[in-house]
Structure 1
Amino acid sequence: MTIAALRTPDERFADIPDFDVPVHYADDLPGYEGLRAAWVDTGPVDAETTFLCLHGEPSWSFLYRKMIPHFTTKGGRVVCPDFFGFGRSDKPTELETYTFDFHRNHILALVERLDLQNITLVVQDWGGLIGLTLPVDEAFEPRLSRLIIMNTALGLGTGAGDGFNAWKEYALTVPVFDAGQIIARGTPEMGEEEIAAYNAPYPDDRYQAGARTFPALVPVEPDMDGVQVSKQAAAYWSSEWTGPSFMAIGGSDPVLGPPVMKMMHGLIRGCPEPLLIEEAGHFVQEWGDIVAPAALKAFDDL
């Protein structure tokens, strides 16, 4: 079945600041034939450690620009996919195309294609909602060695607060969905070039079906897609996980801030005391020059 999609023109990404990294493409991932997937892949292909960095809503791999150099300086390989509908990946135009499994299976297919090993999973926002469920897949779990987790959660079908519900409605209905300004609200020191970079994937509203529908896919009701695998993931992280973890919390996030992350901290077996950055908002990667070195040091100290 052909999926109707748009492709952001390459020139939209010509002036992205501080993000001169190799970008790779594939249009033949199993189940996604004809859709072009994009991902950053930098550092040695045969590196001992691969950092798999998953972005959320409404960002893209540009979100990791401050963390990537710290990982590669330590000799790591860094792979940052753009979910379909985001970044340089193709953007299906129909809201119905986007489902929890549509996004999850894309990441699993890419990991399989690249045969990533000894993965440090780096997640935030939707990157965690999806990424934290990956070890439930028996082909992924042996590839996983470490976890870096920032403001995120698992979708266990238990409802969401008024703040999230308002955000979901806003994303679906606001006449102009300005991704750059949305991210800048919680990151006041961001400059105009960075705001423009977050808007680069979206020449106009036709490209924004993924960004607008992502919040509505969060598994907050018991019968929603993703709830069962998220429950399996919760059991995995609480009882089966034995690897090193590092948690960083943006203290100024009103939706996925300290209360939610305290719950996640209790869920992840053996997770040490989190790094709390009081002034950081939801997009904790914007404080990546603090988070990445702290995570690497914590792992080195083990």
Structure 2
Amino acid sequence: MLDALRTPDERFDGLPDFPFAANYLDNLKGFEGLRLHYLDERPEAAGATFLCLHGEPTWSYLYRRMITVFVGARGRVVAPDFFGFGRSDKPVDPSAYHFDFHRNTLLSFIEQLNLTDITLVCQDWGGIIGLTLPMAMPERFSRLLVMNTTLGSGDHQLSKGFIDWRAWVKKNPDLSPGGLLKRSCPQLSPAECSAYDAPFPDGRYKTGVRRFPEMVPDHADAPGARLSRDARRWLGQSWRGRTFMAIGMQDPVLGPPVMRALKNDIRNCPDPIEIDEAGHFVPEWGEIVAKKALAAFNR
């Protein structure tokens, strides 16, 4: 069993605009002994499932603005925290954090909750890993809602913005997620920024935060790269669901050039909407994105 830290519950008391109940799995197949946190908001007579996958260095708090809109449209919203983030357990060994570890977590999670008619809502690592899932279980996925992400195919040069970001994380191993969000999303209140710091009482809890930039496949034989190329091919040839894409135009890492390339990789992906004032963390502008996506999906 992996040695892991667990953030004290009191760190999550009184988070602004986050009235959602915590749910846990400590018997996830293949990950026994680790506790995974997830949100599961299910209105009466819920229809489709919105599976919201966060990225680095955030957690399910990122989706609070979108959850309300989806639930209001009678959708079930399920938002897990990757191991190493949010209220989920945080393995202390850096080698525990690799592409297959997190992808297999999600595959097992979807199967254990028996999620169907899924709209994959993804940003950053939520898409880098999440967009490889539909080809493994196509009968469970119906729609994609894609925001500032990519596929880690390893056959394209990484953007200068990402290379700079990875170098910055190396130099700042005890980085503040709340401080990072504040720079990208100046409209956030101090309490909201603190909510992004809540999962990490000190640097010992940030192994995942430090590791995720290193996990992005940067050559053709990197872990996850071949799988991502297979997913790209599958999304381009075999995807039969509907897609909605939103781009935060101020993102220097996974911004317009990366997203327009991804659009061309997804079969029948319509032209994206552009959020001019948004940066990397598009779900912080999530109310408008969620409403436009629902309209596009005719929901």
- Shorter-chain TM-score: what band? over 0.9
1:1-302 aligned at under 5 Å gives the runs 2-44=1-43, 47-137=46-136, 140-158=137-155, 159-300=157-298
CA distance in 2, matches of 1:196, 1:233: 36
What do the CA deviations read for 1:172-202 (whole angstroms, capped 9, x no partner)?
A: 3315311111122111111100100000000
Percent identity reads 52
Question: Equivalent residue of 2:61, what SS?
Answer: helix
CA distance in 1, matches of 2:12, 2:180: 19
CA distance in 1, matches of 2:88, 2:173: 23
Question: Equivalent residue of 1:247, what SS?
Answer: strand
Matched residue type, 2:6: R
Matched residue type, 2:293: A
What do the CA deviations read for 1:117-175 (whole angstroms, capped 9, x no partner)?
A: 100010110000000000221xx211000110000000011231222122112223315
Paired residues of 1:172 and 1:213 also in contact (CA < 8 A): no
C-alpha RMSD of the superposition: 1.2
52-61 vs 155-164, which moves further: 155-164
Shift of 1:6: 0.1
Paired residues of 1:30 and 1:109 also in contact (CA < 8 A): yes
What do the CA deviations read for 1:29-75 (whole angstroms, capped 9, x no partner)?
A: 11111100000000148622000000000000000000001100111
CA distance in 2, matches of 1:99, 1:71: 31
Shift of 1:274: 0.8
CA distance in 2, matches of 1:125, 1:161: 14
> Closer, same or farther in 2 for the Cα pair 1:45/1:126, shift >3 Å?
farther
What do the CA deviations read for 1:78-130 (whole angstroms, capped 9, x no partner)?
A: 00000000000000011111000111010111101100010001011000000
Paired residues of 2:247 and 2:274 also in contact (CA < 8 A): yes
Paired residues of 1:45 and 1:77 also in contact (CA < 8 A): no
Question: Equivalent residue of 2:121, what SS?
Answer: strand
Segments of 4+ in structure 1 off by > 3 A? Answer: none
Paired residues of 1:37 and 1:82 also in contact (CA < 8 A): yes
Shift of 1:240: 0.6
In structure 2, runs of 5+ residues without a counterpart are none
**Count of aligned residue pairs for this structure pair:** 298
> Closer, same or farther in 2 for the Cα pair 1:45/1:28, shift >3 Å?
farther
> Closer, same or farther in 2 for the Cα pair 1:228/1:151, shift >3 Å?
same
What do the CA deviations read for 1:242-279 (whole angstroms, capped 9, x no partner)?
A: 21110000000011111111101111111111110111
Question: Equivalent residue of 2:40, what SS?
Answer: strand
